[in-house]
Amino acid sequence: MKRKREAENEHHNKQMEIVWQTPANPPEKHDYVFRDGRRHVRPYYFEFISHVKNRWAGKTIVDLFAEEFKGRPYDYYVNAVKCGRIQVDGEMVPVSYIVKSSQKISHFVHRHEPPVMACDVSILQKEQDVLTVCKPPSVPVHPCGQYRKNTIVGILQAEHGLTSLFPVHRLDRLVSGLLILARNASKADLFRQQIEAGKVHKQYIAKVIGVFPEGEQVVDVNINYNAKVGRSTAEACERCGDTPIKGKAACTKFTRISTNGTHSIVLCEPITGRTHQIRVHLQYTGHPIANDMLYLSEHVTDRSTEGMSADRAAAFSGHSLTSITNENSCDKSENSNENFSIDPMCTNCPNLAPKGYDGHEEGLWLHCIRYTGPEWIYECPHPEWASHS
């Protein structure tokens, strides 16, 4: 028994001797593990840094974490402070320590990133100042929430050695298709100026429910985004009566490409760029995207609906891989025997994914196909779901 305890203590001490990662540590190819059609990130140690807000001041360090970050139990925070995984201004403090405004708090964690679909990030065009890729669904463009390495920018750096990339436009995490990245700040600024001047034309395709009307359909309806529920609503004049219209002006043009009587493939051309604009405008027409769980009904009844758990959770918060011959394939070779270090204090171990992810998430049937600007045009192939055959 004594020998077993000594071995456990030695293992724990080794865990504490590791080098904690910061945003300066770049993703590497061996960081990724492929299982069950999902791209996972091998868990790693990471330093989260925050500064004490005025409303936090006067609380004990443990109460602060227990009240503000409810994802872990109270006992975890007690132990994290005692062993130095939570520090104030770079120093260990007692559990009764009272925090003061503007102090720097470091939380050293064994970080588990959410999995994404195991599709390649296909490079479409590689120019001196511009890189275009076909973004797979479920992968965020850049670090946000719980995602850092499992992002387009992170994967391109790890698997293609591409750095200093500046995304020119935004695609929602569940949306696929053309993504333009500038390869230097000056080119990114030029793209930004063209977009702000209204000189860039954007085109998407969507698979919607029902027979979409023929001819060009223009939806010119304000969009009101509610960050609390992560959902937008359309605010039309005829629905508001004497009530002031909320939200921001938004306009989208839609044109039916084809229909099979059950679904339609629709060309979507957003004139403005509001959050979830195409999704909520299609819902407004009565033809929502056919697999869009967030907008298939007028109201959100259950935010834990299958396929939306990753969206919800993200808002809060080595071996080399087998080579892939099909660049557009999501059927990556699986490394089911990959191991990673189990952290004795981690609340997510021994699982690869963090708690709250069901693994059944699918990509949205919304795909960016073309961006056109002054003297340039970039395109992306259509996805398989865009064919009715």
Which residue type occupies 180?
Answer: I
Both tokens of residue 11?
A: 């293992």
Shared domain check, 148 and 131: yes
Largest CA distance in the chain: 79
Q: Are 248 and 277 in contact (CB under 8 A)?
A: no
Going by their DSSP bridges, the two strands 376-379 and 86-88 should be labelled as unpaired
Going by their DSSP bridges, the two strands 166-167 and 263-270 should be labelled as unpaired
Q: Name the pTM for this structure.
A: 0.82
Q: Are 252 and 270 in contact (CB under 8 A)?
A: yes
- Identify the domain boundary among 91, 111, 131: 111
**Which CATH number is 74's domain given?**
3.10.290.10
CA dihedral 45, 46, 52, 58 (to 10 degrees): 0
* Residue 157 forms part of a structural domain: yes
* Cα→Cα distances 225→33, 246, 350, Å: 35, 9, 37
Shared domain check, 209 and 158: yes
| Residue 154 burial class via C-beta count within 10 angstroms: exposed 0-12, middle 13-18, buried 19 and up | buried
Residues ≥6 apart with Cβ < 8 Å to 385: 207, 365
Residue tagged 């300066």 (tokens): 24
pLDDT tens digits for the chain (389 residues)?
555 545 554 544 444 455 567 777 889 999 999 998 999 999 999 999 999 999 999 999 999 999 999 889 999 999 999 999 999 999 999 999 999 999 999 999 999 999 999 999 999 999 999 999 999 999 999 998 889 999 999 999 999 999 999 999 989 999 999 999 999 999 999 999 999 999 999 999 999 999 999 999 999 999 999 988 889 999 876 545 556 667 899 999 999 999 999 999 999 999 999 999 999 999 999 999 999 999 997 644 443 333 333 343 333 332 222 222 233 446 555 554 467 889 999 999 999 999 877 667 789 999 999 999 999 999 999 999 998 64
Shared domain check, 373 and 257: yes
Structure confidence at residue 17 (pLDDT): 52
* Cα→Cα distances 223→111, 116, 155, 227, 306, Å: 35, 29, 33, 13, 25
Annotation says 343 is catalytic: no
Residues ≥6 apart with Cβ < 8 Å to 83: 16, 345
Query: How many domains in the chain?
Result: 2
Residue tagged 């009566």 (tokens): 241
Shared domain check, 107 and 120: no
Which residue type occupies 211?
Answer: V
Shared domain check, 185 and 83: no
Which of these is catalytic: 172, 189, 302, 331? 172
Shared domain check, 187 and 86: no
Burial annotation 313-325 (CB, 10 A radius, 16+ → b, else e): bbeeeeeebeebe
At residue 42, φ and ψ (nearest 5 deg) are: -60, 125
C-alpha to C-alpha distance for 363 and 307, rounded to whole angstroms: 9
Structure confidence at residue 3 (pLDDT): 54
Closest CA to 20 of 89, 84, 113, 93: 84
- Identify the domain boundary among 52, 78, 111: 111
Shared domain check, 247 and 104: no
Q: Tell me the residue range of the domain where 25 lies.
A: 2-111
Residue tagged 């790890």 (tokens): 158
Both tokens of residue 282?
A: 């299609």
- Identify the domain boundary among 111, 135, 152: 111
Closest CA to 380 of 171, 195, 150, 185: 171
